[in-house]
Homo-oligomer: A and B are copies of this chain.
Amino acid sequence: MTAAGDTRQRILESARDLIYSQSYADAGVAAICERAGVRKGSFYHFFPSKRELTLAVLDDFRTDLETELWGRAFAPDAPVLERFERFVEILYRQQKAVAEEAGRLLGCPFGNLGVELATRDEVIRQKVDGIFRDLEAYFREALEVSAAADELKQVDTAATAEAMLAFLEGILLMAKTRNDPEIIRRLGPAVGDILILAEDS
């Protein structure tokens, strides 16, 4: 334990900020250490490699977003359609706030790392994939509530959840490429249009 004992946490936060606002490749270990006020040796005392650090960063993002975004949006105190609207609204506000602070819209930390590293690092690819699957589960469970109420259509809730997540990831990709948060507000509500029926319906 350090006197302060927060060295690992400072490295993690520094890495979060730098990797998210730049990219995996652009965020060097030296820069991460400098921002954290830590020597490189300490860094490698807590993390065996930059890749392991990145996996920890992904876990950290997941934990935060699960409480601040997914959990909040999908709290069962609102009708299902409203939950998705809430998700989009929180997403918009959060991306806008981050964009104002960082000067640029940064998009989805999972999507960013997935796109950058999926072809180059199998471990990180699987990590991002797992996070996506977890998020999909939130979507799917909400859809199942809705599908049970509306018995006429045989909704493929898994596929629809997948498609909704894809749509939102695509919106964040476009918003980042256009550096414009309003895209989220303009396109986001259409997430409710998406519906994939089961084969044997």
Binding site for B on A (CB under 8 A): 21-26, 102, 104, 106-107, 111-112, 114-120, 125, 128-129, 132, 159-160, 162-163, 165-171, 173-174, 176-179, 183, 186-187, 189-190, 193-196
User: What B residues does A111 contact at CB under 8 A?
Assistant: 115, 173, 177
* 26 cross-chain CB contacts under 8 A: A22-B120, A23-B25, A23-B119, A23-B120, A24-B25, A25-B25, A25-B116, A26-B120, A102-B119, A112-B116, A114-B177, A118-B179, A119-B176, A125-B177, A128-B177, A160-B190, A162-B174, A163-B190, A166-B170, A166-B174, A168-B170, A169-B170, A169-B174, A170-B170, A190-B195, A194-B194
Q: How many copies does the complex hold?
A: 2
Contact at A22–B128, with CB atoms within 8 Å?
no
The DSSP consensus for interface residues of chain A is helix
Beyond the given pairs A23-B117, A111-B173, 20 more chain A to chain B contacts, judged by CB atoms under 8 angstroms and listed by A's residue number, are A22-B119, A23-B25, A24-B25, A26-B120, A106-B119, A114-B173, A114-B177, A115-B116, A115-B177, A125-B179, A162-B183, A162-B187, A163-B171, A163-B190, A170-B170, A173-B173, A186-B196, A189-B196, A190-B194, A190-B196
Q: In the complex the two chains form, what is the Cα distance from A87 to B196 in whole Å?
A: 18
User: What B residues does A125 contact at CB under 8 A?
Assistant: 177, 179
User: What B residues does A193 contact at CB under 8 A?
Assistant: 193-195
Q: In the complex the two chains form, what is the Cα distance from A200 to B189 in whole Å?
A: 17
User: What B residues does A106 contact at CB under 8 A?
Assistant: 119
